[in-house]
Amino acid sequence: MRRPAAIVPGLLAVFCALPAAADLRVASYNAELSRKGPGLLLRDILSGKDDQVAAVIEVIAAARPDILALQGVDFDLDGLALAALADLLRARDLDYPHRFALSPNTGLRSGLDLDGDGRTGGPGDAQGFGYFAGQDGMAILSRFPILTEEVRDFSALLWRDLPGATLPETDGAPFPSPEAQAVQRLSTTGHWDVPVDLGGTVLHLLTFHATPPVFDGPEDRNGLRNRDELRLWTLYLDGALGMVPPEAPFVILGDANLDPEDGDGHSAAMRAFLADPRLTDPLPESAGAAAAPQTGANAAQRGVPARDTAEWDDNSPGNLRVDYVLPSAAIPVTGAGVFWPADGPLAETVRTASRHRLVWADLALP
């Protein structure tokens, strides 16, 4: 299902991870391509001079996923930035004729004080943190047709309407206000169920990008929201959101911003999620993460370092596992990994591209 990539000296070990021709490679990547203003990402892509854009293209072209869920990519109404990215990848013999994106909650103005700082109109007062509507969105790139008419978008679901939601309080009162909680959406960026037609099999991509569980106060607003953003998928699979959940196969993939063992946030929620018998955790690892210095916050980690997917400052919060590709249990998984070489020509490229690493799984689907 994939044309072979050319192998150059120093990359043999990377390409040895490529799947057999009959497997489907599904990946998630927070490319952190967001910019500080509308149109700036498109400008940087078209310039041909942006080092980060070039590095992101190198990473994707080397990993060669058949289906890629992107986070951290600015949305524009006509999909110009996404199309420009696809053009660069096509030049690397990696064609994604099918693309999908919806306007995210990030940067969507609320008109209220949602972050409790006593002011309105700031990036923290948007439905998801953002300086402009569409900033830091999500997208799907696919070699296979996307059934756009069958997409389910949960992004408008109010946080308070999620069954069993835990909303923040201070002194027993809603934080930051009852008015804010009456309009606050659950999804920081979005939650989508995107069906992809593989030709005889439909694969549902359950994709999201949750808030970091930090940058708040004792009310734990972001921590609680992060946990409930993860819970949405459990409730969806339970049939508790008022609609029939997808039949297998499906894959939950995206940036959960939550490590099952380390860092801030409700790690127990991620451990319980990964233990759901309806899911397979392929436990992807990388040589780069395994070789990372165990200093600062990393030295106190309880998790397996080789499974980390993001490289942050060693003092706060250190390297963490926050990006996931989790197939439904009925799908045979033939391989998985985190694209993070320990050395060689791509080691610096992945650092230039993003603090996050591309995570992939190879699926044996009919």
Per-residue pLDDT of the chain (366 residues; tens, 9 = 90+): 433 333 333 343 444 344 444 599 999 999 999 999 999 999 999 999 999 999 999 999 999 999 999 999 999 999 999 999 999 999 999 999 999 999 999 999 999 999 999 999 999 999 999 999 999 999 999 999 999 999 999 999 999 999 999 999 999 999 999 999 999 999 999 999 999 999 989 999 999 999 999 999 999 999 999 999 999 999 999 999 999 999 879 999 999 999 999 999 999 999 999 999 999 999 999 999 999 988 888 888 899 999 999 999 877 889 999 999 999 999 999 999 999 999 998 999 999 999 999 999 999 987
Are the C-beta atoms of residues 208 and 181 closer than 8 Å to each other? no
Q: How far is CA 72 from the centre of its chain?
A: 8
> Which of 331, 318, 335 has its CA nearest to residue 365?
331
Cα torsion for 85, 68, 311, 6, to the nearest 10°? -70
Question: Helix axis angle, 51-63 relative to 80-90, nearest 10°?
Answer: 60
Q: What is the DSSP letter of 154?
A: -
